[in-house]
């Protein structure tokens, strides 16, 4: 399966925090998987003295990365390739940096686990599903090899009955939910509901069920403020009930909240009644979040 072409910039502050947590040293080889416009590579080389290589699927972003590094006189290798198959074992890096979606990180686990035990891995934004980080802070996660593998903590099935998602208007968004397949075999997740199918694409972190939790990325296209969508996710397992998805687009804080069956009914009733009832539920959910 090709890479998941979803890119967003990492803040300079988070890049520097990631470098600090992974203890990037001068002269070390850093590989940025999904290097985007090259800003991480530039900071690693110019400010930390690292030798840098990037892998980027998008041709325009790869060209931007090359131009940025050349402009600052930084020697770097930019591979325009799918990072699920790009050669990374020939010259193993000392540090791997990745700002990737949860499903992509889950799919990369076997390749990352096969790197030498001297390699350190740092991800930003999202943790590697199923692995326990040795160091974490500020949405940065550091992993040493061999990885600490987490045991599944959920019962078979979706992690909840449904989810309420709040996203900002006019910008692409990404959230992830979890599924623990009830049976071994192929995993197929489909979107139920024409409106939701037109606004959202799904990608699973595995093609086959093995008893582990599987993350499912939900990628939303830009939507106007005030949009409210209801739909569901279904699987190819006849024993698995639909997973309810409620999407609200507004200017408030983005977030996602797992729903019990009774809360799915409550949110569904609020959607049917109109936006005012749903706005009250969103305010309630946001107030319940810890600071």
Q: Give 148-205 pLDDT, tens digit per residue.
A: 998 877 789 999 999 999 999 998 999 999 999 988 899 999 999 999 999 999 999 9
Q: How far apart are CA 16 and CA 1, in angstroms?
A: 32
Greater confidence (3 vs 190) lies with: 190
pLDDT band per the 50, 70, 90 thresholds, residue 209:
confident
pLDDT band per the 50, 70, 90 thresholds, residue 111:
very high
Mean pLDDT of 121-129: 97
pLDDT for 8 equals 67
| Long-range interactions of 183-186: CB distance < 8 A, separation 24+ | 183/209, 183/237, 183/239, 184/208, 184/209, 184/210, 184/211, 185/209, 186/236
State the average pLDDT for the chain. Answer: 91
Mean pLDDT of 120-133: 97
Q: Is the pLDDT of residue 3 over 50?
A: no
Q: Is the pLDDT of residue 50 over 90?
A: yes
Residue 153 CB neighbours (<10 A): 8
pLDDT for 183 equals 86
Greater confidence (136 vs 9) lies with: 136
Please identify which residue in the block is written with the tokens 């539920």. 281
Instruction: Please state the three-class secondary structure of the chain as a single string.
Output: CCCCCCCCCCCHHHHHHHHHHHCCCCCCEEEEECCCCCHHHHHHHHHHCCEEEEEECCHHHHHHHHHHHHHCCCCEEEEECCCCCCCCCCCCCCEEEECCCHHHHHHHHHHHHCCCCCCEEEEECCCCCCEECCEEECCEEEEECCCEECCCCCCCEECCCEEEEEECCCCCEEEEEEEECCCCEECCEEEECHHHHHHEEEEECCCEECCCCEEEEEEECCCCCCCEEEEEEEECCCCCCCEEEEEEECCCCCEEEEECHHHHHHHHHHHHHCHHHHHHHHHHHHHHCCC
Lowest mean pLDDT across 81-90, 117-126, 261-270:
81-90
pLDDT for 154 equals 74
pLDDT band per the 50, 70, 90 thresholds, residue 20:
very high
Q: Is the pLDDT of residue 41 over 90?
A: yes
Task: Give CA angle at 165 (286, 135), nearest 5°.
Answer: 75
pLDDT for 89 equals 74
pLDDT band per the 50, 70, 90 thresholds, residue 98:
very high
Greater confidence (212 vs 28) lies with: 28
Q: What are the φ/ψ torsions at residue 193 (nearest 5 degrees)?
A: 115, 120
C-alpha distances (whole Å) from 213 to each of 38, 114, 139, 167 are 32, 21, 21, 25
């Amino acid at each position: 399966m090709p890479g998941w072409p979803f890119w967003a910039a990492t803040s300079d502050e988070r890049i520097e925090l990631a470098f600090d947590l992974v203890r990037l040293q001068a002269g070390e080889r850093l590989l940025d998987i999904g290097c985007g416009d090259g800003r991480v590579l530039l900071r690693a080389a110019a400010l930390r003295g690292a030798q840098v290589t990037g892998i980027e699927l998008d041709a325009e972003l790869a060209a931007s990365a090359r131009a940025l590094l050349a402009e600052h006189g930084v020697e770097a290798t930019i591979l325009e390739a799918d990072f699920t198959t790009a050669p990374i074992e020939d010259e193993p890096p000392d540090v791997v940096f990745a700002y990737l979606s949860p499903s992509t990180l889950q799919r990369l686990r076997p390749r990352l686990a096969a790197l030498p035990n001297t390699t350190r891995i740092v991800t930003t934004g999202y943790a590697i599903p199923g692995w326990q980080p040795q160091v974490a802070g500020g949405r940065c996660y550091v992993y040493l090899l061999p990885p600490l593998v987490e045991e599944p903590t959920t019962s078979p099935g979706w992690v909840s009955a449904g989810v309420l998602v709040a996203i900002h208007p006019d910008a692409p968004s990404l959230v992830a939910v979890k599924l623990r397949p009830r049976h071994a075999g192929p995993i197929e997740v489909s979107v139920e509901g024409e409106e939701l199918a037109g606004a959202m694409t799904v990608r699973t972190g595995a093609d086959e069920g093995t008893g582990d939790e599987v993350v499912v990325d939900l990628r939303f296209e830009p939507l106007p403020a005030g949009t409210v969508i209801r739909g569901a996710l279904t699987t190819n397992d006849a024993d698995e009930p639909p997973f309810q998805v409620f999407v609200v687009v507004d200017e408030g804080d983005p977030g996602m909240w797992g729903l019990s069956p009774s809360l799915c009914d409550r949110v569904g009733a609020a959607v049917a009644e109109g936006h005012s009832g749903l706005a009250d539920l969103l305010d309630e959910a946001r107030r319940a979040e810890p600071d």
